[in-house]
Amino acid sequence: MTLGDDTTWRDRILRSRRVGVLVVAVLLAVGGIGYVLYAGSSGSSGAEADRWSRSVAEPAPLQVLGGERRPGFPSVQRIEHDGLVFTVTVAPALPGRNLVRVDALPLEGHEHEAADEELTVEVDGGAAPVEPTKRPGSDGLWAVVDLPSGNPTVLVAHGPEHRIPVMLETGSTGSADALWAGPDGPECLQAATAAVLAGGKAPTSCPASSLRGSDRAGLTSIVTTLASRGVEEIALSADSSPRSAAASRLVRRLAAAEGVRVVPPSARPGRRSALVVVAGWQPAAERLAAVAGLPVEKQALRSDGVWLAPWLLSPGVVDSTTGAVIPLDFDIRDEAAQRYSQTLAKYFPEQAPTGSAYLAWRRAREGANARGESAFYAASRAAYMPAEPGHSSHETTVSWFPGGTVTRISLPTG
């Protein structure tokens, strides 16, 4: 059974009410994912606070649902505290720099919301607290912490008098990949948790660590399609990640074979040109938003539009531009894609679905070779066409892009 098969778990969590320290255990067999539900607060300071801080770092009999905390396994812990439901995710849970995602939703019947400026994250006994912040291209609040080996505890502070312990197991061997702490970290984390959500194993690498075969196919279809349309130059936006570097080399090689020039995004647009983005979520969103924020007369408008790499199907990226074309081997209205988005909404209501996370979820359920029919889609968070009988394909009815559209615009591409 996967998490998606239990329809009452989240409701039970949101209805629970306790004062003081509460441990709620609901047995879910998910092949290894662990949710720790723990609520506690420290209403004092000085020596008493120091004693409390030291005490939460000691091994405690917290109930880990679906399995024990394990090194290299994303730790997702949900905590009801001070009228809020906190979801804290720490990954990859190995010694070194780890990424922490913090989400907070008010409990049913509560209007209290966590102010971003009140939240801090630290490792008990470690460096000074850091403030979790938003990142372009993704939702949620993010912080990077340095975890020691063994059994560290991450403390999430909600105001000066409330601290939540998140206990971890990082082991004594291995180390965190640098990609987790960098701009690609949110994609790494969401893909890892999606795989576990589907009942699979936690991925051992980030999507940005290599260029997958399906990504190569999508990029190839972009270049060959642009060349067939008479495009004379491609403005290529990339970054330094292994995946983006490989994608950049591929695009340049294919473009050269087609007689198409490749120029930097800052180059003055030629007569027929297109922008192709192969960077990760954060740099892609930052650069697209920077251009969109300029006066129209100063924007580098390209005749054949914006084309996104397959992994850039993220609301945070699509929000950064007025519209783009993206090659996908799935439709967000497919039964499997809808099941993923509905499962995500049930257990991670703070998170928006993304293409990378869905593919990790699909691989965990259907195998590494799972593929769908490839085609081009127009992606925009603004649905210009109203929902009318016979035109439902122009507006999303699932939670991928509420009010927006990801619409198929081509025949199969391969």
What's the full length of the chain, in residues? 414
Contact indicator for 150, 98 with CB cutoff of 8 Å: no
Q: What is the pTM of this model?
A: 0.81
- The DSSP secondary-structure symbol of 268 reads P
Q: What is residue 44's DSSP assignment?
A: -
Chain-centroid distance, C-alpha 270: 35
66 close to 43: Cβ distance less than 8 angstroms = no
Coil/strand/helix, residue 328: strand
Higher pLDDT, 39 or 343: 343
Tens-digit pLDDT profile for residues 87-139: 899 999 999 999 999 998 888 765 656 565 689 999 999 889 999 999 999 99
Domain borders along the chain are: 3-176, 209-408
Q: What is the pLDDT of residues 24-69, one digit of tens each?
A: 333 233 333 333 333 333 333 444 445 344 334 333 323 333 456 8
Residue 405 and residue 387: Cα distance in Å, rounded? 11
- Reply yes or no on whether the pLDDT at 378 is more than 80: yes
281-329 pLDDT, tens digit each: 999 999 999 998 888 878 888 999 999 999 999 999 999 998 899 999 9
b/e per residue, 141-174, with b = 16+ CB within 10 A? bbbbbebebeebbbbbbbeeebbbbbbbbbeeeb
Assess contact for 120 and 128: CB atoms under 8 A.
Answer: no
Q: What is the pLDDT of residues 188-213, one digit of tens each?
A: 999 999 998 898 888 878 999 999 99
* pLDDT confidence of residue 162: 79
Note the pLDDT of residue 110: 58
Please give the structure tokens belonging to residue 217: 């196919």
What is the per-residue pLDDT for 59?
Answer: 34
Rounded alpha-carbon distances, angstroms, from residue 79 to 17, 21, 138, 145: 12, 11, 22, 20
Q: Which fold is adopted by the domain 209-408? A: Rossmann fold (3.40.50)
